[in-house]
Amino acid sequence: MRNGHGDFNKQLLASLQGRNDKNAVHYILEQASLYFECDAATVYLLEEKSGRTIFPYKEFVRNSNIYPLSTLRRETILNLPSQEIFQLDASIYGEDAASYAMLLEQEEHQPLGALVLIHHTPFTPEDEEALRTITSCLNVYLSHLQSAKSDWNHRSYIEERIRRQQSDFMRLMKDARLTSIDLVPAFQMICESTAETLQVDRVAVWFFSEDRTTLECRALYDHPSKKFKNAQGLQKAHYPAYFSSLEENRSIVVEQTSDDFRVHELLEDYLAPLNIKALMDIPIISGGKTIGVLCCEHYDDSRNWSFDEEAFATSIGDMIAFINEHIKRRKAEKKAKELAYYDYLTHLPNRNALEEHLDTRMDQADGRSYFALIYLDIDGFTEMTERLGYRIGDQLLMAVTRRLKSALQKGEFISRLDYDGFAIVTNDTEVKNALYKRIHKYLESLKEPLMVDGQEFFITVSTGVVVFPEDGDSPATIVRNGHRANTEAKRLGRSMITFYRPSFDEYEFEQQWFHMDLAKALENEEFELYYQPQVHPFSKEVTGIEALVRWTHPEKGVIPPNEFIPLAEVTGLIVPLGKWILEKAVHQAIELDHQGMGDICVSVNISAIEFQHPEFLTHVKRVVYESGISPEKLRLEITETMAMDHEDYTIENLHHLQDLGVTVALDDFGTGYSSLKYLSLFPIQCLKIDRSFIRNVESNPKNGAIVQSIVDLAENLDLEVIAEGVETKEELRHLTAIGNQIIQGYYYSKPLPANELLSWIQSFQGE
């Protein structure tokens, strides 16, 4: 407080000289808020037309975070002691908020209303003398306003009610607890307030059902009885004209219900039994469509509805629509948060939620607070789902989730990571022995068989453990190290428990060195191309060769492509490596041509990253022109998956290659999602049947039928067919019986280095 109550009283009384009643009330509230250093000062009035719920009449708010101000119940004001400060419940403004009220009185101590002071943190209006001066001044000016009725002519009254309704609805919007379930009491409040404002007998909120065949009552207030009631739904089939009028997004304002065609259908079943003689039905419109109706109904006599009354009711309908849209947005936000922070299958928190939780735990740590992350992973789960199907796998994950949750202690946090991984954050575990007990509690919960689809499953889990703060100083590090510890536990065998050690990082360092070695490999000429022949089984002619890259590491020996190609793609090294492969393969084709093997085509696999590179086409053209190779002797192989990601770009590039004369094969055909679509869109000349369909084709009728269909389709489209991965005589015999195909696989030859290729071809074709 800036000065004593004597100085304040003198200053206040002097400043009020010459002010009109309204201005004086506002000034008094401003000075009260400043003097008592609180967030807001407001007046609630017991007006003649007010009901059980009293809205703020005038207010001065210094802190917008607490606005809009709450309502008070009539009985709360009437129960205030005279000339005494009374503390109110202020929890709506925050956990620590405080609020004090003092009764306002007219002459002869008739209750007039209440002065309320509000602050977001605890405070006490210690200067009671100053507070009594403030209330005395308010009593005078508010009594003048009430007796003169200057503030309550019909139009200004409705305007004031609209403002108060809007203020209260804003308060509702800020209430995080407001959901579709909580809308009924919210709508009841709207109905009661609207009935009191318009002085009508009955107000109801109705909403269309999802199929729009029924109007369902959400809230109904009967003003004469002061009670909320229920009402049966209205069927469109019984009242088509009424429904049609509502769906035109127009208000139905009726002075005499017996004379209006729009509600004539309602007379016998609805209006007459309730003695409703006038009504004003306002459509609730959202997204340009009527979603419900606000019904204001008058008993006994006809009523001439004013423009102000219709405007007020329309504003209430708009507010209801706003509330409904707000709830829909909140649901959408909740769903988005669930998708971002919760696993779709188990509904457990996911990695995002886990890292947020870890971040919070770390912020709360005081140097003596320890916790551990237990990383559990089901042993052999991938093989299990491949054998039994993913539906069984999903049910098994749900069963594991239930077991782990049953073992949780208060304060522990569980989340699902990856496909079959779970992470549990324990309570403080400064003593390792206590941590071991917690881990074994979870493992014990999984020892009993899990019932899935009527079958018993026995599982084991590998466990990696990370302790904070010694094993990581950030959420990402904690999770990463938990995964590393779990990986080490799996390496040691099933059902093992491994605590994280810094030595586990050596593997990561090895991967980094591997990357550096890969970058040097081109410069050091460590790559070599091998070639696998493609043979026509009837003529025994070698029609083509596929170029396959190998990496001969100076220390680790030959490294297969499945180990280094993914790394090359991630790092971008696939582009220069792809250029080198293309140039070497074309050079090999020219060498074969010089040796009299001019009918052999060389195939080169193209990765998605390489194909999408802006210089890809330019490089292909340069290699073709500078080498002098016949373009038709170069075949580029792309996959369906690659084509799916950038369809338009792929089509454009393929047409450029076709114009160049280079042929294109669709590799791994049949394993993608839209194979036939690509055949119609892409200018390709060859299909390569994936080896998964070739394996055991002679004994697997389904694979045989698929291969037969592909061959027939290719023949009709005038496309060449290559069956890759042929290894046995039985597979070859079955394939040749199906139709005209080129064969590639170990049955004829493994991939050969360049210095062995020519002699093999000459020997094979000379047989």
178, 327 contact by CB (below 8 A) = yes
Distance of CA 539 to the CA centre of its chain: 59
Residue 512 reports pLDDT greater than 60? no
* pLDDT grade for 646, boundaries at 50, 70 and 90: low
How far, rounded to the nearest angstrom, does the alpha carbon of residue 563 sit from its chain's CA centroid?
A: 35
Average pLDDT over residues 241-254: 88
What is the arithmetic mean of pLDDT over 150-156? 48
* Residue 438 and residue 400 in contact, taking contact as beta carbons nearer than 8 Å: no
Model pLDDT, residue 208: 94
pLDDT of residue 14: 85
- At residue 253, does pLDDT exceed 80? yes
Q: Which fold has domain 351-500?
A: Alpha-Beta Plaits (3.30.70)
And the tokens for 484? 């590393």
On the question of a common fold for 163-334 and 351-500, the answer reads no
Helix (H) or strand (E) run with residue 256 in it: none
What's the pLDDT tens digit per position in 360-374?
888 877 666 678 999
**How does residue 663 score in pLDDT terms, banded at 50, 70 and 90?**
very high
* CATH of span 163-334: 3.30.450.40
- Omega of the bond prior to 502 within 30 degrees of 0, cis? no
User: What percentage of the chain has pLDDT greater than the value 90?
Assistant: 39
Average pLDDT in the chain? 85
* pLDDT of 203: 96
Instruction: Give the pLDDT band of residue 428 (cuts 50, 70, 90).
Output: low
Give the angle 548-554-559 at the CA atoms, nearest 5°: 35
- Helical ranges in 448-494 per DSSP H: 475-492
Q: What is the pLDDT of residues 67-91, one digit of tens each?
A: 778 888 889 999 999 889 999 999 8
Span 5-151: which CATH code?
A: 3.30.450.40
Residue 660 contacts residue 637 (beta carbons within 8 Å) = no
Lowest-confidence pick of 115-124, 189-198, 233-242: 189-198
What is the value of pTM for the model shown? Answer: 0.41
Give helix 183-198 / helix 154-174 axis angle, nearest 10°: 170
Q: What's the confidence (pLDDT) of residue 597?
A: 85
Relative to beta strand 663-669, strand 634-639 is parallel
Rg (Cα) of the chain, in Å, rounded?
41
Query: Coil, strand or helix: which one is 556?
Result: coil
Point out the least confidently predicted range of 364-373, 420-429, 640-649.
Answer: 640-649
Q: Which residues contact 478 (CB under 8 A, 6 or more apart)?
A: 358, 373, 466, 468, 471, 472
Structure tokens at 334: 């909740």
Domain residue limits, the chain: 5-151, 163-334, 351-500, 514-766
Q: Widest CA span of the chain, in angstroms?
A: 127
The tokens describing 101, both together, are: 């009220």
pLDDT in tens, 340-359: 888 888 999 999 999 999 98
Q: Residue 728 carries which side chain, given as an amino acid letter?
A: T
With bands split at pLDDT 50, 70 and 90, how would you rate the model's confidence at 152?
very low
Would the pLDDT of 222 be above 90?
yes
> Would you identify the CATH topology of the domain 514-766?
TIM Barrel (3.20.20)
